[in-house]
Amino acid sequence: MNKIVLPVKGTRDFYPVDFALRDWLYQKMKLVSERYGYQEYDGPEIEYVDLYTNKTSEEILREQVFTLTDKDNRLIALRPELTPTVARMVAQKSQQLTKPIRWFMFGRGWRYEQPQKGRGREFFQWEINILGPESPEADAEILSIAAEYFKELHLTPDEVVIRVSDRSLFENFCDQQNIESTKRLPLIRFLDRIDKIPRDLLADEIKKAIDLSTEQTNAIIGFVENKDYSQSAWLTKVFSALENYSDNKKYVEFDPKIFRGFDYYTRTVFEAWDKTGGLKRAIFGGGRFDNLTETLGGERVPGVGMAPGDMPILELLKQFNKLPEVKANAARVLVTVFSKNLMQSSLRVSSQLRSNNINTELYLGEIKEKNPLEKQFKYADQKNIPYIIVIGPEEVEKKLVTLKNMQTREQKQFKLDEAINELQSK
């Protein structure tokens, strides 16, 4: 048992029942995306490392990205996130794509991190973006989609919240307070975890972390506690547009402490949080990236989007006891094999059912001489196969098949084409 080669650290195996859950989540994402008119696309899972450089610090790239060298000695990354791929695809064809571009995908990403709750080294992300319009209504649309996703998962505004800010608020604030640009990044890092620090220790902790004057420190406390976004004309318009998304706006609120780590975000940034705090980290995040395609060498195509991962949301749904009971996919019909002699009949019937588009499984396990059906019924039970067809000596003699509904336990003998009709009518 212990000789089995282990799975790669931080990866997950999706056995059929696990896959069914993943597929359930994917279907929710797809449903919401398509409701807003977004088209599904896909891109490669590997990219040249160059796609990610300049968008992030070299240290993070070196430490957190899985890289490999191809046979021509080019450095390739297993994509650590999906946005640069979209930006690249848009930049390549920006002239011919009809705008606004509304696209979504669901794909794997990799990060070399220490696995823990809601975080692994291999994960899935729902990447959804609107590119083209540099308008607050686009931001409101993405926020509404985020809210609608929660609604589809039966997560309420009492349980989750989408916190939104505008990066220019912080930049303007720093300009006003004469905070040097070199201090801004450390300050962002600090403010990112400010909720973990008790209110009365705040001023001391800020000073400890960054060299700032008392006035500046007090101003920072004032900044993070400010609930008024009117200084951002952009956010004001975003919230105004959001007013028209009746239910969905209840999920969204202003929070000046939201920054996001990605350097490519401009203006709007947001993070979804669990209000109970059990998750201790953002469920997902997103924002506006107006210059990304340009940075990649293309023409400027402004965009806004988000990337919800599968692991945090599944962890959250588990905590709230809102995971559905999903079953692995199964055939609709199990054709039993009464004895070795009757195998040919069962094969023939299976084949005919499939020709009529009925998902059919032929029993290929052990056939006992006495009571040959018992084991086969049990098998159908365990695999949640709703119908069984029995072809025993009696049926062969009469040229009929027995069709049984496993749930109601009703069974009846039919001619094969009648049985097919019966199955198709349900």
Partner RNA sequence: GUGGUUGUAGCUCAGUGGUAGAGCGUCAGUUUGUGGUACUGAAUGUCGCGGGUUCAAUUCCCGUCAGCCACCCCA
Does 47 interact with RNA (rule: CB under 7 A)?
A: no
Does 61 interact with RNA (rule: CB under 7 A)?
A: yes
Residue 323 near residue 22 (C-beta atoms within 8 A): no
Does 406 interact with RNA (rule: CB under 7 A)?
A: yes
> Of 322, 393, 417, 421, which lies in the binding site for RNA, with binding defined by CB under 7 A?
393
Q: 135, exposed or middle or buried, with CB in 10 Å at 0-12, 13-18, 19+?
A: middle
| Smaller CB separation from RNA, 107 or 392 | 392
Considering CB under 7 A, how many residues would be counted as binding RNA? 58
Does 167 interact with RNA (rule: CB under 7 A)?
A: no
Does 320 interact with RNA (rule: CB under 7 A)?
A: no
CA distance 382 to 9: 31
Does 74 interact with RNA (rule: CB under 7 A)?
A: no
- The window from 5-13, 25-33, 127-135, 353-361 that contacts RNA (CB under 7 A) reads 5-13
| Smaller CB separation from RNA, 134 or 205 | 205
> Of 22, 151, 375, 383, which lies in the binding site for RNA, with binding defined by CB under 7 A?
375
> Of 100, 136, 256, 285, which lies in the binding site for RNA, with binding defined by CB under 7 A?
285
Tokens 């571009």 belong to: 101
Residue 365 near residue 336 (C-beta atoms within 8 A): no
Does 323 interact with RNA (rule: CB under 7 A)?
A: no
**Both tokens assigned to 137:** 């209504």
Q: Within 332-371, which residues bind RNA (CB under 7 A)? A: 338, 368, 370-371
| Residue 147 CB, nearest approach to RNA (Å) | 21
| Smaller CB separation from RNA, 133 or 261 | 261
Q: Within 238-277, which residues bind RNA (CB under 7 A)? A: 260-264
Does 22 interact with RNA (rule: CB under 7 A)?
A: no
- The window from 38-46, 100-108, 198-206, 380-388 that contacts RNA (CB under 7 A) reads 380-388
Three state DSSP letters for the chain: CCCCCCCCCCCCCCCHHHHHHHHHHHHHHHHHHHHCCCEECCCCCEEEHHHCCCCCCHHHHHHHCCEEECCCCCEEEECCCCHHHHHHHHHHCCCCCCCCEEEEEEEEEECCCCCECCECCEEEEEEEEEECCCCHHHHHHHHHHHHHHHHHCCCCCCCEEEEEEEHHHHHHHHHHCCCCHHHHHHHHHHHHCHHHCCHHHHHHHHHHHCCCCHHHHHHHHHHHHCCCCCCCHHHHHHHHHHCCCCCHHHHEEECCCCCCCCCCCEEEEEEEEECCCCCCCCCEEEEECCCHHHHCCCCCCCEEEECCEHHHHHHHHHHCCCCCCCCCCCCCEEECCCCHHHHHHHHHHHHHHHHCCCCEEECCCCCCCCCHHHHHHHHHHHCCCCEEEECCHHHHHHCCEEEEECCCCCEEEECHHHHHHHHHCC
Does 426 interact with RNA (rule: CB under 7 A)?
A: no
> Of 33, 80, 85, 106, which lies in the binding site for RNA, with binding defined by CB under 7 A?
80
**Both tokens assigned to 358:** 């009925």
Does 380 interact with RNA (rule: CB under 7 A)?
A: yes
Does 412 interact with RNA (rule: CB under 7 A)?
A: no
Does 81 interact with RNA (rule: CB under 7 A)?
A: yes
User: Edge-to-edge strands of the sheet including 411-414?
Assistant: 360-362, 333-335, 387-390, 401-405, 411-414
Does 404 interact with RNA (rule: CB under 7 A)?
A: yes
CA distance 408 to 380: 14
- The window from 15-23, 60-68, 149-157, 416-424 that contacts RNA (CB under 7 A) reads 60-68
CA distance 309 to 36: 20
Site string for RNA, 206-245 (x = CB under 7 A): ----------------------------------------
Does 390 interact with RNA (rule: CB under 7 A)?
A: yes
- The window from 2-10, 19-27, 156-164, 172-180 that contacts RNA (CB under 7 A) reads 2-10
| Smaller CB separation from RNA, 35 or 378 | 378
| Smaller CB separation from RNA, 180 or 366 | 366
| Residue 394 CB, nearest approach to RNA (Å) | 3
> Of 58, 409, 425, 426, which lies in the binding site for RNA, with binding defined by CB under 7 A?
409
Does 10 interact with RNA (rule: CB under 7 A)?
A: yes
The residues of the shown chain that bind RNA, judged by CB under 7 A, are 1-2, 6-7, 9-10, 52, 55-56, 60-61, 64-65, 80-81, 111, 113-117, 119-120, 189, 192-193, 260-264, 280-281, 285, 338, 368, 370-375, 377-378, 380-382, 390, 392-395, 402, 404, 406-407, 409, 411
